[in-house]
Every structure is written in C-alpha cells, then in structure tokens.
C-alpha cells in the first residue's frame, strides 16, 4: 500500500497567522481562564522565602507583596500602596500587618487601614480606604493563597498523599519561561516518556518507563487520570497519573522499575503549575521521599528546593546548552514550544488523546463559570482530607495485551471506587481486584 503524502518544500506556503488559544492560556483577572483559576487555592511561595522582609511575588499576572507579620500571620497585599503607590516591598513588617515606607500607612493582613500615617486616628480616610489583600494559608513549607472573589472562597483542601506520615514532604519551586498550560498538560502526555526520556535522551527516569505501554484515559472525581499498563520482566505494572483540576498533578515513583509486587503505592510528587503571568510559570509543590518510593536511593534531598529538583531536565541552569541539546528534558521540550504554545499550529494525533481530553475538561469548566456556574470544589470542609487517585500497582502475572488493557482498567476502577476508604483499605481492595482478575483470566 502506498501512502500519499503532501508535497514537500512548502515552507513559503505554510500559514504564519497562527492564533493563540486565549480561553485556556490567558490568566489575567477578567479573562476566562484567569477567573477559573481564581476559584482555587494555589501555592505562591515556599515558606523559607518569607524572611523578616516583605517578598515581591507575581501570581496570575498580579504583583503582590507577601510577608509574615510579627504575630506570625501571613499577609498577601497588592504591591502599590493605596495612598500614593509606593511599593509595599519596602514596607516595614509590623506586629500586626505592614506599614508603607513612604508616609506610614499601616495595613492589616486583610488590607484594612489600621492607621493612615499622620492622619487623625480613625479619621475619614480609614473608613474610605481598604487595600487589596488575599487570604493566605501556610502548610508544610508552602504558602497558599486564594486570589478570587472572597464570597466564592472554597475550603482549603488537604490531599491524602499530604497526610501520609510515611513520606517526607520536601518543598520545591521551579520557574519556567512559558505559559502554564504547556507545562500542565505534559502530565497527560505519557507517550513523551518513551521518546523524550528514553529513545532521544537516553534513560532519564526508570528503565521500565521506557518500555511500550497501553495507555487509557478516564475522568476522575478531581479531574482525570491516565492509566499506563505494561509488562516488565514477568510483572504487570499499572500506573495511574492524575491531573487535579485546575492545575495540580501527581505522579508515581520517579524511578519505578516494577521489579517487585506492590499495590496502590502512592505518589512521589504533588505540584501545582501556577501562572506567574501569561508567559511564565512557577511549579510549586512537594517531593515525597520514602524508601518505599525510592528503594534504589536515587533521589537526593539536598537537590530539592528553590529552582532545583532531584530529577533531570526541569531547569535552564542545571546543564550547558550543548548538553541540553544532546539530552533534552521536559524544560527544553516545553519552553521551546514558545512563550504560549499556539494550538492553532498543532496537528494533534491519536497519541494526544490525553492532552485533548484535559483541554476539553478545562474548557468546559471555564465555559461553565462564564455561564454563571461555580466550578466544583476540591474539598467540602476546611482542611478536609481529599482522596486522590495516583498510584502504582505491580502484579506478578503475564497477560496478553488485551488482558493488560482490561487489567489496567480494573486497577483504575478500583482505585476510583475506593476513594471513600482508608489508605490501608484501598491497598487491600486493589490487591483483591488484581487477584480476582488473575483467577478469571
Ligand atoms: S505611598 Fe504609601 S503611605 Fe504614602
Ligand atoms: Fe517528562
């Protein structure tokens, strides 16, 4: 059979008027996606960055000043003082709130004006002015903020992997000079692991992750998962990788080799892909460390922190440009898509089903909000522990590819069904589902 291909040397005739996809990529206040993202809590800094001095941060296109007052409360205020605009970055952190350096206007962490410098105490200006401020919660080394309308503030969620006492949570933050979406959708693009992280650059993560796999996608209570199933040396390995809408994700053990049985082993990273502005992004989260997740001891705690992580290809500075060209990683692939990847220029193929599905999910939520429907909340109560659906299961068996597909679905369905159970019960349910599947096959 011959395949007819379009004629070559068409450089001159290709379109050049590619359009951005603003509905999903523009994040300023008032934009569709910007409003959607403003309905959730996001990490905005690592606690260690907040010293005795105010910290200038940019989040969702807004310039803000983050500080911890002397009573221990965090404040996140608009940068420019409500008096005549001096930056609160040069303010004095007070017992309660912050005092602008220029004329001494003193703001509480909620932006109320405590005292307007030389103006009369409780004078009319204090009744007129309230400075822009956002609620902040500090949790395990990360500072989270909510930048949406106060009346829509959702309960602060705690995801179940955060509550796992068997892992050490190490905060990290990475800056990437491109739009948030091209970083976020990478998690639902498992096909790139075989190419970028194995065939092209040599093995950058586990050897097993470079093997061909059966991939399926499924909605989950918090967003979506992909189900990756493959045969590795007499074991069947089924991994579920999760996007927690709008911008968090989790994945399994980074160097998983699937060489021993395990059921419902949890995540090695929980991270939020937080837009700084339309063309720069901070990925902030925790690396989860434990001997169970990393039996080969390949992780390195001392490499995890500000602009640093203990796996390859995530930053501009870790390698020379030549080395990055010879062995590119996620950073090179994502940043080189451009400041904002042009969806109009792409040719999505069958292997992009996860990316397409994630964009559809996001677009639906964005549109629903525009129509007046608030997006789903991650937690119903403040600090509620929220079940997630990321895991690795490795089962001693040999299955045909059809059976592997069915096995992966069985594991994923059990993982989703077990969401209301305890972690130990979920392990048991997945183990029993694997054994039942094997008996029936
Ligand atoms: S500009 Fe801040 S107090 Fe005057
Ligand atoms: Fe990757």
- CATH code, domain with 197: 3.90.380.10
Asked whether residue 122 is assigned to any structural domain, the reply reads yes
Cα separation, 56 vs 50, in Å, equals: 10
Surrounding residues of ion ligand 2, Cβ less than 5 A = 330
Residue where a domain stops, chosen among 115, 134, 152 = 152
Are 216 and 334 members of one domain?
yes
What is the position in ligand 1's atom list of the atom closest to the CA of 103? Answer: 3
pLDDT in tens, 13-22: 988 899 999 9
Are 111 and 182 members of one domain?
no
Asked whether residue 212 is assigned to any structural domain, the reply reads yes
Asked whether residue 12 is assigned to any structural domain, the reply reads no
Asked whether residue 14 is assigned to any structural domain, the reply reads no
Are 193 and 321 members of one domain?
yes
Residue where a domain stops, chosen among 152, 187, 219 = 152
Nearest alpha carbon, ligand 1 atom 3: 103
User: What are the tokens at 121?
Assistant: 């105490």
Nearest alpha carbon, ligand 1 atom 1: 84
Q: How far is the CA of 111 from the centre of ligand 2 (A)?
A: 41
Residue 139 CA neighbour count, 13 Å, CB half: 18
Q: In this predicted structure, what is the pLDDT of residue 68?
A: 98
Q: Which ligand places an atom closest to the C-alpha of 191?
A: 2
Nearest alpha carbon, ligand 1 atom 4: 103
What is the position in ligand 1's atom list of the atom closest to the CA of 84? Answer: 1
Q: 105 in ligand 1 pocket by Cβ < 6 Å?
A: yes
Q: Which ligand places an atom closest to the C-alpha of 200?
A: 2
Cα separation, 156 vs 380, in Å, equals: 9
Q: In this predicted structure, what is the pLDDT of residue 198?
A: 83
Q: 107 in ligand 1 pocket by Cβ < 6 Å?
A: no
Q: How far is the CA of 94 from the centre of ligand 1 (A)?
A: 15
Are 426 and 365 members of one domain?
yes
Asked whether residue 137 is assigned to any structural domain, the reply reads yes
Q: 84 in ligand 1 pocket by Cβ < 6 Å?
A: yes
Q: In this predicted structure, what is the pLDDT of residue 1?
A: 57
The model scores a pTM over 0.75 = yes
Range of the domain at 132: 29-152
Residue ranges, the chain, pLDDT below 50: none
Are 304 and 427 members of one domain?
yes
**Domain count for the chain:** 2
Q: 100 in ligand 1 pocket by Cβ < 6 Å?
A: yes
Are 140 and 234 members of one domain?
no
DSSP 8-state class, residue 280? E
- Name the nearest CA neighbour of 219 among 25, 425, 412: 412
Asked whether residue 16 is assigned to any structural domain, the reply reads no
Are 46 and 113 members of one domain?
yes
How many CB atoms sit inside 10 A of residue 315's CB?
16
3-state SS of the chain: helix, strand, coil percent to 5?
A: 30, 30, 45
Q: What is the dihedral sign for C-alpha 208, 309, 61, 93?
A: positive
Q: 90 in ligand 1 pocket by Cβ < 6 Å?
A: no
User: What are the tokens at 432?
Assistant: 């029993």
What is the position in ligand 1's atom list of the atom closest to the CA of 117? Answer: 3
Are 314 and 250 members of one domain?
yes
Q: How far is the CA of 124 from the centre of ligand 1 (A)?
A: 16
User: Of the residues 65, 103, 113, which should be mutated to test ligand 1's pocket, given the most ligand atoms within 8 Å of the CB?
Assistant: 103
Q: How far is the CA of 91 from the centre of ligand 1 (A)?
A: 9
Residue where a domain stops, chosen among 152, 176, 203 = 152
Are 116 and 191 members of one domain?
no
Burial string for 206-233 (b: 16+ CB within 10 Å, else e) reads bebbbbebbbbbbebebbbbbbbbbbbe
Q: How far is the CA of 246 from the centre of ligand 2 (A)?
A: 19
Are 188 and 93 members of one domain?
no
Q: 61 in ligand 1 pocket by Cβ < 6 Å?
A: no
Asked whether residue 329 is assigned to any structural domain, the reply reads yes
How many CB atoms sit inside 10 A of residue 425's CB?
12
Are 316 and 341 members of one domain?
yes
Query: Tell me, what CATH number does 102's domain have?
Result: 2.102.10.10
Asked whether residue 108 is assigned to any structural domain, the reply reads yes
Q: How far is the CA of 377 from the centre of ligand 2 (A)?
A: 28
What is the position in ligand 1's atom list of the atom closest to the CA of 86? Answer: 1
Q: 113 in ligand 1 pocket by Cβ < 6 Å?
A: no
Q: 272 in ligand 1 pocket by Cβ < 6 Å?
A: no
Are 341 and 215 members of one domain?
yes
């Amino acid at each position: 059979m011959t395949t007819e291909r379009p004629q070559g040397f068409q450089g001159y005739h290709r379109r050049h008027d590619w359009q951005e996809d603003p509905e999903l990529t523009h994040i300023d206040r008032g934009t569709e996606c910007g409003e959607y993202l403003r309905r959730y809590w996001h990490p905005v800094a690592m606690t260690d960055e907040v010293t005795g001095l105010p910290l200038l941060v940019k989040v969702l296109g807004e310039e803000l000043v983050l500080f911890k007052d002397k009573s221990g409360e965090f404040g996140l205020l608009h940068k420019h003082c409500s008096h005549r605009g001096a930056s609160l970055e040069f303010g004095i952190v007070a017992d309660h709130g912050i005092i602008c350096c220029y004329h001494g206007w003193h703001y509480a962490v909620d932006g109320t004006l405590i005292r307007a410098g030389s103006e009369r105490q409780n004078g009319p200006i204090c009744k007129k002015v309230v400075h822009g401020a956002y609620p902040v919660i500090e949790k395990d080394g990360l500072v989270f903020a909510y930048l949406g309308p106060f009346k829509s503030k959702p309960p602060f969620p705690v995801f179940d992997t955060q509550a796992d006492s068997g892992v050490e949570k190490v905060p990290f933050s990475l800056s990437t000079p491109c739009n948030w979406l091209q970083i976020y959708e990478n998690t639902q693009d498992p096909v790139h692991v075989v190419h970028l992280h194995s065939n092209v650059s040599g093995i950058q993560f586990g050897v097993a992750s470079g093997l061909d796999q059966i991939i399926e996608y499924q909605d989950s209570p918090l967003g979506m998962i992909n189900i990756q199933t493959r045969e590795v040396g007499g074991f069947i390995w089924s991994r579920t990788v999760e996007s927690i809408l709008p911008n968090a994700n989790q994945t399994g053990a980074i160097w998983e080799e699937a060489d021993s049985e395990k059921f419902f082993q949890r995540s090695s990273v929980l991270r939020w892909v937080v837009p700084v502005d339309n063309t720069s992004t901070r990925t902030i989260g925790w690396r989860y460390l434990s001997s169970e997740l990393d039996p080969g001891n390949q992780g390195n705690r001392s490499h995890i922190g500000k602009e640093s992580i203990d796996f390859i290809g995530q930053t501009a500075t870790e390698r020379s440009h030549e080395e990055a060209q010879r062995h590119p990683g996620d950073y090179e692939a994502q940043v080189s898509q451009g400041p904002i990847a042009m969806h109009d220029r792409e040719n999505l193929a069958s292997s992009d089903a996860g990316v397409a599905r994630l964009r559809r999910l996001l677009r639906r939520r964005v549109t629903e909000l525009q129509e007046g429907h608030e997006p789903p909340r991650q937690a119903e109560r403040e600090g509620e522990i929220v079940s997630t659906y990321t895991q690795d299961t490795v089962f001693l068996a040999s299955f045909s590819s059809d059976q592997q597909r069915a096995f992966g679905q069985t594991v994923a369905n059990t993982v989703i069904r077990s969401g209301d159970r305890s972690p130990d019960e979920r392990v048991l349910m997945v183990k029993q589902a694997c054994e039942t599947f094997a008996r029936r096959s």
